[in-house]
Amino acid sequence: MKKTNEFKNERELQEDLACFLRESGLLTFTEIQIPNMHGSRADVIAMTPHRYSTKDIRLYEVKLTRGVWLADKKFQKYLDCCNRMYIACPKGVIKKEEVPKEVGLITRNDNGWRVIKSPKLSINPSKMDVDFILSLLYRGYEETKLQRDLRDRIIADSNVKLSHKAKNIGWEISRRLDKTIESQIERWCENLWEIFKEFGFEVPDEITTDNDRLELPSLYEIKNILGGASGLLNDVATIKAIGEYLKNIELSEEGKSWAGTRKENRGKAMNLITG
């Protein structure tokens, strides 16, 4: 909330008063041109909604400085077009006893607006006619349209920002998931397929599921592959042992040699063969 010394002009003070009245539940309009009053404009007009049988149209004349207040001697003409009239100003600018008895006084301090003096109620002001009411309706429509446009822009801007934030969150989640165990398992499966391909299995273009089961070789097939590989390694070791023995066949049965004896090599070969 602004401090009283922060208002730069009457327009800012006027908008602050209008905001206060709206928050109080009143229908509020600003800068209303009054018909048949030589282009005069009321700073703020407010009325109680849903009370058509008892008219209560309030007019507020805003004065920011004491000099403006002392120079204005025509404000009382607005008494003819409203049920209640107030002078609105910062606290201390106008004294309560300076305000005519028909007019009320509302002041703004650093904590907000406060009614200092209540106005006299006018039941049937002479210039509160159909033209005056129509001017309120037209001005009210214009202000409502501005508010609707502003609201739509805010909503649209919020949706754009929300969409952008959602996209960023999606990218962040994707980046983090790429480092999870699931993604590591997926890469492991891809590498496993390459190994299966070397053993003659047909590798599909992509890994799909059928009845919630991956189309991978069965455990029986994998066991056969590993068993065959293990047997192949044993066969290679046996052949190697036989070859080592035959290579040293000319060695003596007994005696010492840098390559050992035929008996020793035969024993080594048989151990490898029978393993």
| Domain count along the chain | 4
Question: Domain check: are 42 and 15 in the same one?
Answer: yes
Number of Cβ within 10 Å of residue 10's Cβ equals 17
136 and 119 assigned to the same domain:
no
Residues 140 and 29 in one domain: no
Residues 211 and 237 in one domain: no
Domain hosting residue 139, numbered range: 131-179
- The answer to whether residues 222 and 238 belong to one domain is yes
Q: Is 61 left (phi over 0), alpha (psi -120 to 50) or beta?
A: beta
Q: Please, what's the b/e burial string for 75-93 (b: 16 or more CB within 10 A of its CB; e: otherwise)?
A: beebbbbbbbbbbbbbeeb
Is residue 23 located within the same domain as residue 79? yes
Do 24 and 124 lie in a common domain?
yes
Residue 245: other Cβ atoms inside 10 A: 19
Cα 96 to Cα 107: distance, rounded to the nearest angstrom: 10
pLDDT tens string, the chain, 275 residues long: the values are 889 999 999 999 999 999 999 889 888 888 888 877 777 888 999 988 766 667 789 999 999 999 999 998 788 889 988 999 999 999 999 999 999 999 999 999 999 999 999 999 998 888 887 877 777 777 665 565 656 566 666 666 666 666 666 667 666 666 665 666 556 666 777 777 777 777 666 665 555 545 555 555 666 666 676 676 666 667 777 777 777 666 666 666 665 655 566 677 777 777 766 66
Please indicate, yes or no, whether residues 27 and 113 belong to a single structural domain of this protein: yes
Residues 121 and 165 in one domain: no
Say whether 200 sits in a helix, a strand or coil: coil
